[in-house]
Amino acid sequence: MSPMAVTPQLKLDATKIRADFPIFEQLIHGKPLAYLDSAVTSHKPRQVLDVLRSFYETSYGNVHRGVYTLSERSTEAYEGARQKIASFINAPAPRELIFTRSATEGINLVAYAWGLSNLGPGDVVVVTELEHHSNFVPWQYVAGRTGADFRMIPLDDGGELQLDALDTVAGGGNVKVVATGLVSNSLGTINPIERLAGWAHEQGAIMVVDAAQAAPHRRIDVQALGCDFLAFSSHKMCGPTSVGALWGRGELLEAMEPFNLGGHMIRSVRFEETTWGEIPAKFEAGTQPIAEAVGFGAAVDYLNEVGLEAIEQHEHELAAYALERLGEIPGVTLYGPPADRRAGIVSFNVEGIHPHDVSQVLDWEGIAIRAGHHCCQPLMQKLGVSATNRASFYLYTLQDEIDRLIAGLEKVKKVFA
């Protein structure tokens, strides 16, 4: 691995970190790239790209399938990545960490493999009004298939969960699943997972956490959170696409039916009957995203070296600055909680201008932000809008990029005046 541009510290140097990311070496429409859309996907540092290249060039083979050198090297790298990622979230054991295609696939795995066998009429599945569709639609679907009730914890006007409504939401039903994001991808709201997990367990329910927007940005400790399952994606945390991870409590994973069926996940296959392998193999049917998992491990090394505390602090400062500057622009509406209770995500609208138009004019200035419903249509319904603009920050984001966003919005307003 090539040397890091930074050493662990609380205050990170985003300008130095940026030098690790080749994407910033180009101009967009003749301007330096201001990438303010890391919540959708993050860019990749050389340290990760180098590991991917060298893995393919020197060690690539299929895993758990051969007794020759390349297969052994590949298996070692793949299982090494599992260990790193498991310890990144303080999982009690690496075998409880399943490689998936994405956070979406991890949540679907739990909804199908746990939900279809454990839910039925009279049971209640609880999500929130903040959820990304990935942690909403699978539960809505599985509740519908099994006859369970599907309910939402409401939001208050500040974009935070109304915890005093929990008992009303349960409404005398048999709550079996509470599924919540740790950080909202639309509003940046940080949800009180420990508290929700305590409530879920009092009801006899499992607590499922969508950590897609949390794992890249803050230290995750599944044992301290007290959850039962936690899903996240590599591509949002400096790693490759097409790989993610699902952590689950060992005893739950062991008791569950498999999700995908095929090679590697079996103990024995007979015409009469097939039996399943041990976890994690039981949930890893077929050829896995091998190099991607190894790259995911390298991404976790990179984030650990920069320091999750420093990353969280940096993004927090940027969010506070962005909220302040955006709040000064007449006609801008901001959504979500105050800076001290949100992550590095800021959603807003500019009066009379559709977010797609805002985003397109900003692109002429080399500024990339997201415009749309952010896969959160129930939240948009709640906010009474069809879409918002969203700026989101990461370890390589500079305050100067927020200044450029503010200047860009003045231009947008002139174009549509």
Ligand X SMILES: Cc1ncc(COP(=O)(O)O)c(C=O)c1O
Name the residues annotated as catalytic.
Answer: 375
Quick check: 98 binds ligand X (CB under 6 A)?
no
Closer residue to ligand X, CB minimum distance, 276 or 393: 393
Inter-residue contact 373 to 355 (CB < 8 Å): no
Quick check: 134 binds ligand X (CB under 6 A)?
yes
Closer residue to ligand X, CB minimum distance, 310 or 379: 379
- Map the footprint of ligand X across residues 185-214, applying CB under 6 A: 185, 210, 212-213
Question: By CB under 6 A, which span of 64-72, 128-136, 282-290, 315-323 interacts with ligand X?
Answer: 128-136
- Map the footprint of ligand X across residues 239-258, applying CB under 6 A: none
Inter-residue contact 119 to 177 (CB < 8 Å): yes
Reference 400, options 20, 11, 14, 9; nearest CA is 14
Question: By CB under 6 A, which span of 96-104, 310-318, 354-362, 388-396 interacts with ligand X?
Answer: 96-104
Q: How far is the CB of 379 from ligand X (least distance, A)?
A: 11
Reference 221, options 194, 251, 245, 184; nearest CA is 194
Residue 290, C-beta contacts closer than 8 angstroms, at least 6 positions apart:
60, 62, 63, 74, 78
Quick check: 359 binds ligand X (CB under 6 A)?
no
Inter-residue contact 283 to 265 (CB < 8 Å): yes
Interface residue with ligand X among 38, 47, 233, 392 (CB under 6 A) is 233
Closer residue to ligand X, CB minimum distance, 134 or 389: 134
Quick check: 104 binds ligand X (CB under 6 A)?
yes
The three-point CA angle 270-273-279 to 5° equals 95
Q: How far is the CB of 67 from ligand X (least distance, A)?
A: 35
Inter-residue contact 233 to 254 (CB < 8 Å): no
Quick check: 347 binds ligand X (CB under 6 A)?
no
Residues listed for the chain: 417
Quick check: 284 binds ligand X (CB under 6 A)?
no
Long-range contacts of 193-201 (CB under 8 A, 24+ apart): 193/225, 193/226, 193/227, 194/224, 194/225, 194/226, 195/163, 196/161, 196/163, 197/225, 197/226, 197/227, 197/228, 198/226, 199/166, 200/126, 200/175, 201/226
Q: How far is the CB of 341 from ligand X (least distance, A)?
A: 17
Inter-residue contact 136 to 186 (CB < 8 Å): no
Closer residue to ligand X, CB minimum distance, 132 or 342: 132
Binding mask 146-185 for ligand X (x = CB under 6 A): -----------------------------------x---x
Inter-residue contact 110 to 248 (CB < 8 Å): yes
Alpha carbon distance 81, 42 (integer Å): 19
Quick check: 289 binds ligand X (CB under 6 A)?
no
Helix, strand, coil fractions of the chain, as percent rounded to 5: 45, 20, 35
Closer residue to ligand X, CB minimum distance, 74 or 184: 184
Quick check: 132 binds ligand X (CB under 6 A)?
yes
- Map the footprint of ligand X across residues 16-55, applying CB under 6 A: 40
Q: How far is the CB of 211 from ligand X (least distance, A)?
A: 8
Binding residues with ligand X: total (CB under 6 A): 14
Residues that bind ligand X (CB under 6 A): 40, 102-104, 132, 134-135, 181, 185, 210, 212-213, 233, 235
